[in-house]
Amino acid sequence: MQQHNVLILDFGSQYTQLIARRVRELNIYCEIYPYNKIPQDIQKFKAVILSGSPSSVRSDEAPHPDLSDIRAKKPLLAVCYGAQYLAHFSGGLVAPSNTREYGRANLSFIKKDEAFFKNISEGSQVWMSHSDTIKELPTNAIHLASTHDVFNAAYKIEGEDTYAIQFHPEVYHTTDGKQLLQNFLVDIAGVEQNFTPNSFAKTTITDLKEQLKDDKVVLGLSGGVDSTVAAVLLHKAIGKNLHCIFVNNGLLRKDEFSSVLKQYEGMGLNVKGVDASARFLDALKGLTGPEAKRKAIGRVFIEVFDDEAHQIENAKWLAQGTIYPDVIESVSVNGGPSATIKSHHNVGGLPDFMKLKIVEPLRMIFKDEVRRVGASLGIDKELLGRHPFPGPGLGIRILGDITSEKVRILQEVDAIFINGLKEDNLYDRVWQAGAMLLPVNSVGVMGDERTYEKVVALRAVESTDGMTADWVDLPYKFLQKVSNKIINNVKGVNRVVYDISSKPPATIEWE
């Protein structure tokens, strides 16, 4: 088991996962649990953080956890809703704010010589996001900080290691947020900064050995970073008992099936290639809705694995490269209150007919952490630097129904775009890139002839872990060159556009 270290109680804020990201950046392991499912082994955690929430503490439906095993027994940091919760139920007063307090603010007052604000000065920028405000502090509270509009921006409880802040330290707009978290977790709570790639790999391999023993495991390889790192961890734990399968779902990038199989040669992994492209395309016939397509791809993915697993005598486990953002976006973490964004094909359990148990070595870490773990395992740098590619592949980059002809068109477009990024040394500037085939035809002119063909959108974003992302300002000359090459070489496309939307409010993929 990973060291427990820090527990984050989720009250439904979309920022909760960012708290985890910030804590992990300090080399401190943390886990998110819903406010109403506090772990039984709470005594093993060294500190607790309460997240924000879209709810108001004044509402009868507001989250109301039992903190009796935490308050005054563990170092506690209450963020936004958490700060209001402590005030509202401990003798303070929370009331509607005259104006919605949202966006950048600056600390106009900080209590001098307070360890909580070590290396943070007055004027430091913070990020507010709330509609209620704390009018009166709870019993035994000491006022620690203010902004121009929010007097009770931070406080602590006398006689406890309990601190509360009205702003969000996890959001990058809070310029000293990481420092503040370090002050609380390291200096006040005494949490050790020992969550490193090497420690994760060592602990995970030990846990896998204990969990799997001599059982056989089937793993779906995709050629991407996540499944590759998962495979190497499992291989180091159980060796020849790991059986890797790479499925061609007919929605891969151009020539990817053969190139990925070649990529794994020499890595010591037992890999079998399965071409099930016709089976996937049949299942997708006539489907146009994003969720319907994702679910069909997920269903066939499981069926193919079930077929292959039956050919491996005594296979008992299905391993997947699921990572933390997949879990967070697909379901509320551990059954918590955060809103579901979209379903992921490899999250949510197996159907009853499939007798394999699931093992997910990377389930609790983020993409950048996966890459660092991979580097610690000695995996090739070029493979670790490969852009993420969605599990459903081009199936969620073809808007509307899917046909083999549309797949061909998008594969050609995608290959020109990705190869162009590599040729112009732009590939490593981008976190993820791809092309979308739109359900739109547009009028064009080629030579002296009128055309009425497809529109494709190019997408390139920069990000750390995919939770948030910004579009990449690719050079106009590059976009012009790629656009010309696509239109001149891909039959069926006569218009190219570039997507300049950030996440949020958009997602990285279009479906």
Q: What is the maximum alpha-carbon separation in the chain?
A: 83
Q: Are 361 and 1 in contact (CB under 8 A)?
A: no
Residue closest to 511 by CA, chosen among 347, 342, 299, 389:
342
Compute the C-alpha angle 414/419/421, nearest 5°.
Answer: 100
Cα dihedral 424/430/436/442 (nearest 10): -50
Element (H, E) at 125: strand 125-136
Burial 241-274 (b: 16+ CB within 10 A, else e): bbbbbbbbbbbbbbebbeebbebbeeeebebeeb
Residue (of 507, 72, 47) closest to 294 by Cα position: 507
30 among known catalytic residues = no
Q: Distance between the two ends of the chain, CA-based, in angstroms?
A: 35
Contact (CB, 8 A) for 163 and 77? yes
Residue 369 among the catalytic residues: no
The DSSP line for 428-442 is GG-SEEEEEEEEEEE
Catalytic residue, chosen from 30, 31, 80, 130, is 80
Q: Which of 31, 170, 329, 511 is catalytic?
A: 170
Backbone angles phi, psi at 43, to 5 degrees: -65, -20
Other CB atoms within 10 A of residue 207 CB:
16
Say which of 88, 130, 168, 235 is annotated catalytic: 168
Are 367 and 389 contacting, i.e. CB atoms less than 8 angstroms apart?
no
Would you mind telling me the total number of residues written for the chain in this entry? 511
What whole-number distance in Å separates Cα of residue 459 and Cα of residue 457?
A: 6
Residues 6+ apart with CB under 8 A from 27: 193, 194, 195, 196
The answer to whether 170 is a known catalytic residue is yes
Residue type present at position 269: L
> DSSP for 299-317?
HHHHHHHHHHHHTSTTEEE
- 333 touches 327 (CB < 8 A): yes
Any idea which residues carry the catalytic annotation?
80, 168, 170
